Chains A and B, each alone.
Chain A
Amino acid sequence: MSDSKPIIELRHVDKSFGPFQALTDINFSVRPGERVVVCGPSGSGKSTMIRCINQLETHDAGSITVDGIELGDDTSDIRAVRQEVGMVFQQFNLFPHLTVLENLTIGPIRVRKMGKAAAEALARNYLERVHIPEQADKYPSQLSGGQQQRVAIARSLCMEPRIMLFDEPTSALDPEMIGEVLEVMVELANTGMTMVCVTHEMGFARRVADTMVFMEGGRIVEVAPPEEFFTNPKSNRARMFLDQILEH
């Protein structure tokens, strides 16, 4: 596994918002099947980095290659990559005017050009996987936060992506609902899915991560296996950060 070709590769990536440099010289790669957890203080550029992977943000310099496609100005390339890369947002971003089932099938039907019946079968299968098969005909607003986030995960999975990105998927949830979402994510990790998760759930990180990435000030400060990262972080920054969040 360690010598297989990277499925995501960022080289010397820079990104600015106006005068503010959000990412500086990001070098980072992910192998197929690898589970990467990204952490770091708020504003350190974690979201910006993973949003560059599916080009919700465009990078200013450097190169990003996903599944063999180098991301540039070609919109059809970007769409091709987005079909292979699922994304789960902090705020769920379910489509409120569509039922749960429609939220799940719209991608397969409109993007993958799948038939309606096949798409629904697929959607029900993934709803089963996230443990809410009975909510198919409800609207997102009728579900709890934890259920909504699991629908959002299922919506991404319905596109049968090779890579899943998570941007603080549990940060907007009430504490009692965090567990059910993490459980689904652990199950997903166990299927061998390539995952990049921005999260501060260190228990989850310990359980599933192959690699920890620590960011600060728009730079990657440390990349290490979790045992090493949690017990003996190389950088002072990471140590201080861990002390802070593990206190709770």
Chain B
Amino acid sequence: MRQKRFKLHWLDYVIAAVVIAFAAVIWFRISGALNYKWQWDRIPNYILRWDADDGRWYANLLLQGLINTIRIALYSSVLALVLGTVLGIARTANNLAIRMLARTYLEVLRNIPPVVVVFIFFFFLSEQLISALNMESWARGIARQDDIAVWEFFFGDMRRFPSLISGVIVLALFESAFVGEIVRAGIQSVGRGQREAARSIGMTWVDEMRFIVLPQALRRVLPPMSNQFISLVKDSSIISLISVQELTYKTVELVASTRMIFEAWITTACLYFILCFGLSLLFRRLETSAPKH
């Protein structure tokens, strides 16, 4: 095959000129008309901060937020995968009541704005769960202990543990509906013959699902599932509304205390972009190298 040559057309120059002009106008309006004072030099300090007394680097607001976002994304995606798998199985169940229940859950989530869903899940579910399990005092107990490095590695500031967990739960519940649809499509893509073969050797329904249907279904839905994971990372910004200390929340804090509106939001946008785009490159890489059986 012939390589497509990298040659610029006159249209490319026009487009580039328009884009640059547009950016310049915005820039001019912000710094000129709004009389905005750019302070880009202060931004790195809010990512990594050098502590002269201790003689070491500390993660500052933005990096703390980013790390928390990653933690939340990881935990809630595991939880969403579990819940979504259950939902997906329920969507394909023979039993009508189970199928309707799963369907209702999905339709409700699809037709309510995410912000409203987040508040409802927060107040009705995760808050109740956290107080029922007495998690607040348990986490404070942990926070008072001396050696909590392991806890902090996994959950960050332990005093914020309940908030982190409710964020994880809310996000997982929200995403599970979409994961469920992906799993359902995967299950339905496994042919009837596969299930009949499993049954004809006397497998139970659970074994049939576990060893024959789900392994094939999940393998087939890997591409949409990885997209969903990236969506989840982006959607995680919404739980800043319930004061979970992730990247968006930390950016709001930063802006409130420093007034560096544009620098802070642009930096945060870049951090999200790097994270999500990096993930999508990684998944594409994994997909092309995965075995095809």
Binding site for B on A (CB under 8 A): 54, 56, 79-80, 82-83, 85-87, 89, 91, 93-97, 106-107, 110-111, 139, 141, 152, 155-156, 159
B293: chain A residues within 8 A (beta carbon) = 96-97, 139, 141
Segment touching A, from B14-22, B102-110, B192-200: B192-200
Evaluate contact between B202 and A79: CB separation under 8 angstroms. yes
Please list 7 pairs of residues, one from A and one from B, whose beta carbons are closer than 8 Å in the complex, sorted by A's number. A80-B202, A82-B202, A83-B202, A93-B197, A95-B216, A107-B203, A111-B201
A96: chain B residues within 8 A (beta carbon) = 216, 293
A111: chain B residues within 8 A (beta carbon) = 201-203, 207
B279 at interface, CB cutoff 8 A: no
A82: chain B residues within 8 A (beta carbon) = 199-202
Evaluate contact between B211 and A56: CB separation under 8 angstroms. no
Evaluate contact between A95 and B212: CB separation under 8 angstroms. yes
Evaluate contact between A93 and B201: CB separation under 8 angstroms. no
Q: Which residue on B lies nearest to A155, using beta carbons?
A: B201
- Contact residues of B between 211 and 262, Cβ < 8 Å to A: 211-212, 215-216, 219
Evaluate contact between B202 and A89: CB separation under 8 angstroms. no
DSSP majority for the B interface? helix
Answer whether A86 and B194 are a contact pair too, CB < 8 Å, given A106-B211, A110-B207, A139-B293. Answer: no
Task: Find A110's partner among B194, B203, B215 (CB 8 Å cutoff).
Answer: B203
Report the minimal beta-carbon distance from A114 to chain B, rounded to whole angstroms. 13
Q: Which residue on A lies nearest to B196, using beta carbons?
A: A56
Evaluate contact between B211 and A87: CB separation under 8 angstroms. no
Report the minimal beta-carbon distance from B216 to chain A, rounded to whole angstroms. 5
Task: Find B201's partner among A91, A107, A141 (CB 8 Å cutoff).
Answer: A107
Evaluate contact between B203 and A89: CB separation under 8 angstroms. no
A97: chain B residues within 8 A (beta carbon) = 215-216, 219, 293
Task: Find A93's partner among B194, B202, B207, B219 (CB 8 Å cutoff).
Answer: B194
B289 at interface, CB cutoff 8 A: no
Q: Which residue on B lies nearest to A79, using beta carbons?
A: B202
Task: Find B200's partner among A54, A91, A106, A139 (CB 8 Å cutoff).
Answer: A54
B212: chain A residues within 8 A (beta carbon) = 95
- Contact residues of B between 158 and 210, Cβ < 8 Å to A: 191, 193-194, 196-204, 207
Distance A82 CA – B201 CA, assembled complex (angstroms) = 6
Report the minimal beta-carbon distance from A97 to chain B, rounded to whole angstroms. 5
Evaluate contact between B211 and A89: CB separation under 8 angstroms. no
A86: chain B residues within 8 A (beta carbon) = 200-201
A110: chain B residues within 8 A (beta carbon) = 203, 207, 211
Distance A110 CA – B203 CA, assembled complex (angstroms) = 7
Answer whether A95 and B197 are a contact pair too, CB < 8 Å, given A110-B211, A141-B293. Answer: yes
Answer whether A89 and B219 are a contact pair too, CB < 8 Å, given A111-B202, A111-B203, A139-B293. Answer: no
Report the minimal beta-carbon distance from A169 to chain B, rounded to whole angstroms. 13
Report the minimal beta-carbon distance from A188 to chain B, rounded to whole angstroms. 17
Distance A96 CA – B292 CA, assembled complex (angstroms) = 10
B215: chain A residues within 8 A (beta carbon) = 97
Distance A156 CA – B198 CA, assembled complex (angstroms) = 10
Q: Which residue on B lies nearest to A83, using beta carbons?
A: B202
Q: Which residue on B lies nearest to A142, using beta carbons?
A: B293
Evaluate contact between B193 and A159: CB separation under 8 angstroms. no
Distance A139 CA – B191 CA, assembled complex (angstroms) = 18
User: Given A95-B194, A152-B197, 12 more contacts at CB 8 Å?
Assistant: A82-B199, A83-B201, A87-B196, A89-B197, A95-B216, A96-B293, A106-B211, A107-B203, A141-B293, A155-B201, A156-B200, A159-B201
B200: chain A residues within 8 A (beta carbon) = 54, 56, 82, 85-87, 156
Specify which of A83, A94, A110 lies most central, judged by the most chain B CB atoms within 10 Å of its CB: A110
Report the minimal beta-carbon distance from B271 to chain A, rounded to whole angstroms. 38
Answer whether A159 and B202 are a contact pair too, CB < 8 Å, given A97-B293, A110-B211. Answer: yes
Distance A82 CA – B195 CA, assembled complex (angstroms) = 13
B194: chain A residues within 8 A (beta carbon) = 93, 95
Q: Which residue on A lies nearest to B207, using beta carbons?
A: A110
Report the minimal beta-carbon distance from B293 to chain A, rounded to whole angstroms. 5
Distance A155 CA – B202 CA, assembled complex (angstroms) = 12
B199: chain A residues within 8 A (beta carbon) = 56, 82
Report the minimal beta-carbon distance from A159 to chain B, rounded to whole angstroms. 5
